[in-house]
Structure 1
Amino acid sequence: MSKKLSLIFLTVLLAVVFTACGTTGGGTTDTAANLSNGSSDGAPAPKVDEELTIKHQLGETKVKKNPQKVVVFDFGTLDTLDKLGVQVTGVPQANIPPYLSKYQDAKYVNVGSLKEPDFEKINQIGPDLIIISGRQSEAYQELSKIGPTIFVGVDNAKYMESFKQNMTLLGSIFDKASAVEEELAKIDATINNVKEKATASGKNGLIVLVTGGKVSAYGPGSRFGLIHDVLGFAPVEKNIEVSTHGQSISFEFIVEKNPDYLFVIDRDAAVGNESPAKQVIENELVKKTKAYQNGTIVYLDPNYWYLSGGGLISVAEMAKEVEAGLK
């Protein structure tokens, strides 16, 4: 009987010793010790979340790599993440461009509109990352209280530089750097081809936005200025006011400047109003211009140019549209 008791005592003692060894230290050290001692479970060391400190136009934000619950207010960013196969949780479902219509599905949380975020819905998500651009800049402080928020607006004065910086940033956050580099290389190839053709043509252009029957012009350095600054079309007028809403012009202005190419963006079509830009632009005055007479009025897709832009899909399509309009 005494031998049996001794054996039981020894077994209990050994169990206590091994338990103590297994709980000495913590976290990664624990697992490493188990593995080095021939642990049969083969469990890997727990992964420590990598955190990035991102400096942007509105501040500095700490963001964990590969965030899981992502709210996106910028459609250019949304088309980029879609291209990269990154899942998002919440989007503003009002005025989503047709090429991103999949995000109108009920499986995505509707977080308001581009100008009016639904703070309550966003708070319910508990986002790991919120991505905004110009239209939401005034809500930055409020959104930052809910979750890490970064600003990714494109700088129109240096469009491609800021666009590429934004794409590289998204590639870093979501571990998609090589995919981003590949897509940027394709976009560069298209842009270089368009620029070469536009420069060789020696033609000039005028960019206009049509809304409510009125027309505004945009020149170099403006929100649509990449047609001049990046794609190589000389501006028919260099001193057009640079502003968000463009410089209000008359049809007489268009006739006076007589551009070789007239690039038209229909804002009404983008926001669901019925006032086709073609009916506004192709009046008796504009019909006197070289652009009309030579068939070089180019109607650009406002879903890329007005609603989104600045994304891997939208910038690629914008360059292709201008290329298709070249004659």
Structure 2
Amino acid sequence: MLKPLAIASLLTVTAQAWADTDAQRIAALDYSALDTLTALGQGERIAGVPQSSLPEYLSAYATQKYADVGSLKSPEYEVLDQLAPDSIIISGRLSGEKQKLEEIAPTWLNGGVEADDYWSRLEANTHALATEYGADEQAGPALDSLHADIDDAVARVEGTPEVLVVLHNDGKLVYREDAIVNDLMGLASPNLPEDADTQARGERSFTLLTPAQISAMAPDLVWVIDRSAAIGQPELDLEALQTELGDLSVVKGSPKLWYLASGGLESTLLQVNEVVSALQ
């Protein structure tokens, strides 16, 4: 199996790329785009990132070399003004700020990934970023390599385990049909209990689960995405949950990786490998 993309080694852009005097300085306010551009050899174009919530695997950007441009939901406009990047990249979290950011620099809205068609959306996002930032030649091979690595990783999963994905948010456990686990990896989720509490919030709905309900569902693995921990709030007491769930296998993914960075070339393989490791 090919080794995961190495962030440290990819931070050096080729001499040919830097011979292009039009190379853009980028403020990346979306970690999946930052991830993908780094994997495509464009890391040296990055001028600013939100540093306070950087996932560990992107820690190479947690230095004074890169301006701290706010958070994934709240840009530091004064810093961005002073930085004067050639372009800004955001995710849907900042779509409402796009017009204001456009006053500083052309702003690229990076596409998201959904639970029903992860790979196609990842491909589309990767090719779009590659075209926008001059890395077309790198995109195809990077995607091919990633696909092969994912296939190798999933092949190590024995049998047909059922994996229940829950999102922890402020003490609540919310059922999640997950793009990585259920769509990309093709792992089944157990059926929801008839007494599950599904609530509506605007056009969206969510289903709360209790530890007793999770026990009754009897999945082979309970995979926890800790939103609270990812955004600096009190994290889930995993030991207490494990006690309530008895012999069920309960594993928490790396919070910032799963909640803040999903949809990048590097993050995708890291997420797949975390789940595969939990199932072995």
Same-fold status (TM-score > 0.5)? yes
- Counterpart amino acid of 2:246? K
Extract structure 1 runs of 4+ deviating beyond 6 A. Answer: 238-245
Alignment check: 8 A CA contact 2:180 2:268 kept = no
Residue equivalent to 1:248: 208
Correspondent of 1:226 among 180, 184, 191: 180
Please give the secondary structure, in 2, of the residue aligned with 1:143.
helix
Alignment check: 8 A CA contact 1:218 1:225 kept = no
1:1-327 equivalence runs, <5 A: 67-86=23-42, 87=44, 88-156=46-114, 157-196=116-155, 198=157, 201-219=159-177, 224-237=178-191, 246-284=206-244, 286-287=245-246, 292=248, 296-327=249-280
CA distance in 2, matches of 1:274, 1:147: 36
- C-alpha deviation, 1:117, in angstroms: 0.8
Q: Taking structure 1 as the reference length, what is the TM-score of the superposition?
A: 0.69
- C-alpha deviation, 1:125, in angstroms: 2.5
Q: Taking structure 2 as the reference length, what is the TM-score of the superposition?
A: 0.80
Residue equivalent to 2:13: none
CA distance in 1, matches of 2:205, 2:135: 35
CA distance in 1, matches of 2:234, 2:144: 38
Q: 1:245 to 1:105 in 2, by over 3 A?
A: farther
Alignment check: 8 A CA contact 1:206 1:259 kept = yes
The gaps in structure 1 that reach 5 residues or longer are: 1-48, 50-64
Please give the secondary structure, in 2, of the residue aligned with 1:166.
helix
- Counterpart amino acid of 1:78? L
CA distance in 2, matches of 1:96, 1:177: 26
More relative contact order in 1 or in 2 (CA 8 Å, sep 6+)? 2
The gaps in structure 2 that reach 5 residues or longer are: 1-19
Alignment check: 8 A CA contact 1:265 1:305 kept = yes
CA distance in 1, matches of 2:274, 2:22: 33
CA RMSD of aligned residues (A): 2.7
CA distance in 2, matches of 1:66, 1:194: 39
Alignment check: 8 A CA contact 1:93 1:110 kept = yes
CA distance in 2, matches of 1:244, 1:134: 16
For the pair shown, the structure with the greater C-alpha radius of gyration is 1
CA distance in 1, matches of 2:172, 2:273: 27
CA distance in 2, matches of 1:322, 1:209: 15
- C-alpha deviation, 1:227, in angstroms: 0.7
How many residue pairs end up in the alignment?
A: 252
